[in-house]
Amino acid sequence: MGTESKPLKIYMLPFFAQGHLIPLVNLARLVASKNQHVTIITTPSNAQLFDKTIEEEKAAGHHIRVHIIKFPSAQLGLPTGVENLFAASDNQTAGKIHMAAHFVKADIEEFMKENPPDVFISDIIFTWSESTAKNLQIPRLVFNPISIFDVCMIQAIQSHPESFVSDSGPYQIHGLPHPLTLPIKPSPGFARLTESLIEAENDSHGVIVNSFAELDEGYTEYYENLTGRKVWHVGPTSLMVEIPKKKKVVSTENDSSITKHQSLTWLDTKEPSSVLYISFGSLCRLSNEQLKEMANGIEASKHQFLWVVHGKEGEDEDNWLPKGFVERMKEEKKGMLIKGWVPQALILDHPSIGGFLTHCGWNATVEAISSGVPMVTMPGFGDQYYNEKLVTEVHRIGVEVGAAEWSMSPYDAKKTVVRAERIEKAVKKLMDSNGEGGEIRKRAKEMKEKAWKAVQEGGSSQNCLTKLVDYLHSVVVTKSVELN
């Protein structure tokens, strides 16, 4: 039904953070490619991050546009242009950007009243969208940027408090399709936060995730039984947007995909699968002590590396790197250090990348899986402690450095530093040619095959996208029959 009948007018509202914005903009592109009319609602600086991509989509004949709303900078006391969590480096600024998600409500409601869409798809953070959609009688779906597996973990942990009485881990998680453990106690604060967000899915027609059905095997049923809500697996979105053009994904930042990024040129000089890519996503700011330990661990592993660090632009390297590290790295041609944004999906796809030392952000995890890159996991905050388990214990496509403590914020320095020896050991385990890494690398390649199959015509994610569009048409038809 969906793709041939009259196009639907669909509004999508991404939250102001790269890990939310990138996959929802990709989803908007995918839905528009199914002949629907999509409008992304966002603020000026956030729009700049993907405006070139939108122009390309328009040039390809897709109906996709951006509606700009004001960012409440003055109300929040934020400098002009600071509209994305990527620009924050402390809890206060981040808190204000989260608050902005509530402050934009009035403008968005006014716009929607004047120009009502057929369907509203909002990021899970916009908890007010439930009442807005109800008042305007518009069907709503929720985009959840974290994994369905995480919600299952949180629920299983809450149902078995007896597993967490001991003062030290590992803690067994009961009641899930796999026997799982957590090295540290989860923060009750994170469970409460997640619960309130999951409640925000109430009254929605279902939740859309940036994942593919095979990755959540066993957990989707668990989630649907638990919440009574439907899950739409439309991902990995970074892979799905590549398919029609048969070219690499366009990064949502500047011109990194147009001019070849220096990291990719450097990788061209390296042997296949020989380089460890290191990145902690767009938000994590590790303490100087932790960065030094990391540098020592990487150097001791003797593997080559491409290390991306955010938040250290302009700061003297002697503050956060061991003495002589940069000089040795250059002399021995062992590594490359980049301060600033890189085209991550392209880097992970480069044949020279052999492993990924990651904070386990959900997008990073799915991108690594899409490229068949096995991971060394070192979660930074929030849901990342659960994502690590999906990688290391469910699918066994990574080696755990593990966490020393559960943090709710990407900025606060942790009391317990993860020591260099642990990092060195995990990197060697994955990257050494004679170690246990072989099986892990093999499974990562098999998982990549599953991801690629899912996004091809007839694959699970492509089918899910078609079914999603059909479903949206059916709820809109039902609504108009009810109103008449």
Q: Which of 122, 363, 377, 407 binds ligand UDP (CB under 6 A)?
A: 363
Q: Is 37 annotated as a binding residue?
A: no
- Applying CB under 6 A, which part among 28-36, 191-199, 359-367, 421-429 lies near ligand UDP? 359-367
Q: Is 342 annotated as a binding residue?
A: yes
Structural element, H or E, at residue 376: strand 375-377
- Tell me: does residue 19 bind ligand UDP (CB under 6 A): yes
Residue 245 burial (CB < 10 Å; 0-12/13-18/19+)? Answer: exposed
- Applying CB under 6 A, which part among 31-39, 116-124, 151-159, 341-349 lies near ligand UDP? 341-349
| Binding-site size, ligand UDP (CB under 6 A) | 20
Q: In 340-388, where do the E strands start and end?
A: 353-358, 375-377
- Tell me: does residue 345 bind ligand UDP (CB under 6 A): yes
Q: Which of 358, 363, 362 is nearest to 383 (CA)?
A: 362
**Helix and strand counts by DSSP (H, E) for the chain:** 20, 15
* Active-site residue list: 20, 123
Minimum distance, C-beta of residue 385 to ligand UDP, in the bound complex (Å): 13
Q: Which of 12, 22, 30, 426 binds ligand UDP (CB under 6 A)?
A: 22
Minimum distance, C-beta of residue 291 to ligand UDP, in the bound complex (Å): 16
- Count the Cβ atoms, other than its own, within 10 Å of residue 282: 22
Closer Cβ to ligand UDP, 8 or 101, answer by number:
101
User: What is d(CA 381, CA 409) in angstroms, rounded to the nearest whole number?
Assistant: 6
Closer Cβ to ligand UDP, 277 or 320, answer by number:
277
Query: CB within 8 A of 247, min separation 6: which ones?
Result: none
Q: Tell me, residue by residue from 230 to 259, as one string, x for binding to ligand UDP by CB under 6 A and - for no binding.
A: ---------------------x--------
- Tell me: does residue 281 bind ligand UDP (CB under 6 A): yes
Judge whether 423 and 298 are in contact, CB under 8 Å: yes
Residues found in the chain? 484
Q: Which of 73, 93, 155, 344 binds ligand UDP (CB under 6 A)?
A: 344
Q: Is 205 annotated as a binding residue?
A: no
Q: Which of 123, 150, 242, 367 binds ligand UDP (CB under 6 A)?
A: 367
User: What is d(CA 352, CA 371) in angstroms, rounded to the nearest whole number?
Assistant: 12
- Tell me: does residue 361 bind ligand UDP (CB under 6 A): yes
Residue 254 DSSP symbol? T
- Tell me: does residue 24 bind ligand UDP (CB under 6 A): no
End-to-end CA distance of the chain: 21
140 DSSP β-pair partners: 120
Q: In 87-239, where do the E strands start and end?
A: 119-123, 140-144, 171-173, 180-182, 207-209, 231-233
- Tell me: does residue 362 bind ligand UDP (CB under 6 A): yes
Minimum distance, C-beta of residue 184 to ligand UDP, in the bound complex (Å): 19
Instruction: Enter the tokens of residue 255.
Output: 């011109």
User: What is d(CA 26, CA 365) in angstroms, rounded to the nearest whole number?
Assistant: 16
Closer Cβ to ligand UDP, 139 or 343, answer by number:
343
148-159 and 219-227 are packed helices; what angle lies between their axes, rounded to 10 degrees? 70
305 DSSP β-pair partners: 276, 335
- Placement of tokens 């939740």 in the chain: 207
Closer Cβ to ligand UDP, 64 or 360, answer by number:
360
Minimum distance, C-beta of residue 367 to ligand UDP, in the bound complex (Å): 5
Instruction: Enter the tokens of residue 295.
Output: 């540098």
Q: Which of 297, 313, 290 is nearest to 418 (CA)?
A: 290
Q: Which of 337, 342, 426, 431 binds ligand UDP (CB under 6 A)?
A: 342
- Applying CB under 6 A, which part among 56-64, 221-229, 328-336, 343-351 lies near ligand UDP? 343-351
Residue 302 DSSP symbol? T
Q: Is 48 annotated as a binding residue?
A: no
- Applying CB under 6 A, which part among 65-73, 281-289, 389-397, 461-469 lies near ligand UDP? 281-289
- Applying CB under 6 A, which part among 13-21, 29-37, 371-379, 413-421 lies near ligand UDP? 13-21
Closer Cβ to ligand UDP, 86 or 232, answer by number:
86
Q: Give the Cα-Cα-Cα angle 161, 162, 165 (nearest 5 degrees).
A: 95
Residue 230 burial (CB < 10 Å; 0-12/13-18/19+)? Answer: middle
- Applying CB under 6 A, which part among 49-57, 65-73, 279-287, 322-330 lies near ligand UDP? 279-287
Q: Is 138 helix (H, G, I), strand (E, B) or coil?
A: coil
Q: Is 424 annotated as a binding residue?
A: no
Closer Cβ to ligand UDP, 84 or 220, answer by number:
84
Binding region: 282, 310, 341-342, 344, 363, 367
Q: Which residues bind ligand UDP (CB under 6 A)?
A: 17-19, 22, 251, 279, 281-283, 308, 341-345, 361-364, 367
